[in-house]
Amino acid sequence: MSDKKPFEIAREALKQITARQLAPTPVNYQAIYNEIAGMPNVQPFPEEPLRQIAQALPARNPGQEKQRSLLEYAIGQRNWLGVQNALVAYSGFAMPGSGDSAPAPLAPTPTAAPALTPEFFEQIARLIEYAKPALGTDDARFQEQMQQLIQALRDPAAEAYKVKTQLADFSHRLSFAAEDQAEIHLTLLKLLQLIIDNIGELSPDDNWLKGQTDALKEAAQPPLTLRRLDDVERRLKDVLFKQTEAKGRAQEAQEELRQMLATFISRLSQMSETSGAYQGKMEESMRQIEQAKKIEEIAPVLKEVISATRHMTSESTSARDELRAMREKAQATEAEMVKLHRELDRVSAQARHDSLTGALNRQGLDEAMNREVSGVRRKDTILSVALLDIDNFKKLNDGKGHETGDAALKHLATVARECMRPQDTLARYGGEEFVVLLPDTPLDKGVEAMTRLQRELTKRFFLAGNEKILITFSAGVAQLATGETGADAIKRADQAMYLAKRAGKNRVIGA
C-alpha cells in the first residue's frame, strides 16, 4: 500500500490519465487510483444491471421460474458464483424448439470451438446407454438405430459430420419414443386408478377396504419415486395382513351366529312338536276320563298325564337353559364382532400414516390441509406451512446404510412432535421431506418455530451405533395467502426451502 495521502494519490491519478491519454471515465480513474495506491483493482458489482437482466428473463416453466428466483437472490447477496450457477441451470430448463432457449448474449465474443474428442463421444454413448431401459424395447428399428449410433460414437475412425447426422436422426426418433413412453406411463396410471375406484364401488359397505384403496390411490399419483413406492408397499403389506386376519375372525363370528340361529330355529321346531304332542295327549286323557265308569279306570290315565307333564316340564327347562346359553353366546359374539370392526377401522386408518415415522402421509396431509384451510376461510384466521428437508441425507444413507437413514427420519419426527403444539400437524411429504401445518401462526412466528426445532436438534444428537451424528435441516415457511390453496402454499415453502439449501443449509427462510 502506498504511503501517499488520498489527495496526493488523486492528483497523481489525474496526471497519469492525461499522460496516458486515457478517457477521463470513472472506471479508468478507479483503475489508476488503485494502481498508485497499491490496492487490487476489484470491479464494482453491477447489481442494478443484473437485476434488470433477471427481470427480463422469461419464466416459461417451473424450472426457469425457480432458477430466476435463485438468480435474484444471488444478485442481492452479490454472489458471482451464485449468479453463474443460476444462469447455467436456467439454460438447462429450456425446451428445444419451444422458444425457451436462453437469450443470446448482447455482445457475443468469438471463441474457438472445442475439439470433438473421443472422450466427448464416449460420454454421449454412455448417456444413450443409460437412457435405453427407459425407452422400452417394442420398436426394433429404434433399438437398431440406437445401437448403430453407439457403435459410431465409439469408432475412432468415424467422421464427425456423419456422426452428427446420425445423432440428429436419432434425436428426432427419440422425441417420438419418449412421448410414447410418457403416454404409456400416464395411461397405465389412469387404468390403475380406474381399477382402484371400481374396487371401492364394488364394496361400498366395507369401510375396512377404504384404507387400502386410499393408499393405492396415493401410490398411483405422479410423480412416482422408488422410495415412495417402497414405503407404500411396506405399509400396505402390514395393513393387508392385519385386515386379512381381522376379516377372517369376523367371518368366523358371523358363521357362529348363523349356526346359533339355525340351532335356535330347530329348537323352536322341536318345542312346537313337543307342545303339540303334549296337547294331543291331554285331549286324549280328557276323553278317557269322561268315558271312565270306575275310579280304577282313571288312575292309569292320571299316571300318563303326570308322566307327560313331567316330560314337558323337563323339555321346557332344557330348552330354556339352552336358549339362555345361546343368547349369552350371541351377545358375546356380537361384542366380538363390534371389536373386530373397530380393529378393521383402526388398521384402515393406518393407511393415512407413514409406517416408519408415524407422521401423516400424503393422503393424511391432504385431509389435514383441507381441514385447516377450511377453518382459515370460515374463522378468518391465519395458517403457516413449513416444508423442511434433512441436509445431506443421501450422504448419510450411502455412508451409513438405509437402516441408519430410516432411524434418522424417526429421530427427526420424534423431536419435531415433542417441540410442536397440540394443534400443529406433522406429515411426511416424501423421502426426507416433512411438512408442518401451523394454525394461528403468522409467518415470522412460523420461522421462529422452525428455528427452535433446529436448536433442539443440535442439543439431541442422533446415535448411529456409538457414533453421534448431528441432524440438521433446511426449511422454508409460507403463510397462506387470501384465495391461495394449500398446495400453492407448500410450493412457495418449497421454493424458500431450496433457497435455504443454496444459502448454506441448516437455516430457515420465509417465503
In the three-class reduction of DSSP (H, G, I as helix; E, B as strand; rest coil), residue 483 is classed as coil
Supply the pTM of this predicted model.
0.39
DSSP string for 276-336: HHHHHHHHHHHHHHHH--SHHHHHHHHHHHHHHHHHHHHHHHHHHHHHHHHHHHHHHHHHH
Say how far apart CA 157 and CA 140 lie, in whole Å: 27
Q: Among 286-295, 375-384, 463-472, where is mean pLDDT lowest?
A: 286-295
Query: How much is the mean pLDDT over the chain?
Result: 76
Buried b (16+ CB within 10 A) or exposed e, 379-413: eeebbbbbbbbbbebeebbeebeeebbebbbbbbb
Residue 445: pLDDT above 90? yes
At 102 the pLDDT is 42
CA distances, 195 to each of 61, 199, 213, 237, 370 (Å): 33, 6, 10, 19, 26
464 versus 371: the higher-pLDDT residue is: 371
Is pLDDT of 476 > 90?
yes
pLDDT at 475 over 90: yes
Average pLDDT over residues 21-48: 75
Mean pLDDT of 390-413: 87
For 309, other C-beta atoms within 10 Å of its C-beta total: 13
Element (H, E) at 479: strand 473-479
Output 243 or 256, whichever has higher pLDDT.
256
Q: List, for residues 411-430, the tens digit of each pLDDT value.
A: 999 999 888 888 899 999 88
Instruction: Give the range among 27-41, 287-301, 448-462 with minimum mean pLDDT.
Output: 287-301
DSSP 8-state class, residue 132: G
Which pLDDT tens digit goes with each residue over 306-365? 777 777 777 777 777 777 777 777 777 767 767 766 666 666 555 677 878 888 888 888
Whether the per-residue pLDDT at 253 is higher than 90: the answer is no
CA-based end-to-end distance of the chain:
45
How confident is the model over 96-125, as pLDDT tens digits?
444 444 444 444 444 444 556 777 888 888
Please give the pLDDT value at position 451. 93
Instruction: Give the pLDDT confidence of 173-226 residue by residue, as tens digits.
Output: 777 777 777 777 677 666 666 666 665 555 555 555 666 666 666 656 665 555
Preceding amide of 223 cis, omega within 30: yes
pLDDT tens-digit readout, 129-171: 888 777 777 777 778 888 888 888 888 887 777 888 888 778 7
Is a pLDDT exceeding 80 seen at residue 228? no
When mean pLDDT is compared across 239-253, 422-436, 442-456, the lowest value belongs to 239-253
Q: 31-35, 255-259, 346-350, 431-435: which range is least confident on average?
A: 346-350
Residues of the chain with pLDDT > 90, as a percent, come to: 12
pLDDT at 490 over 70: yes
pLDDT at 456 over 70: yes
User: With 50 as the cut, is the pLDDT of residue 44 above it?
Assistant: yes
Write down the pLDDT at residue 142: 78
Q: Can you read off the three cell numbers belonging to residue 432? A: 426426507
pLDDT of 477: 95
| Residue 7 pLDDT exceeds 80 | no
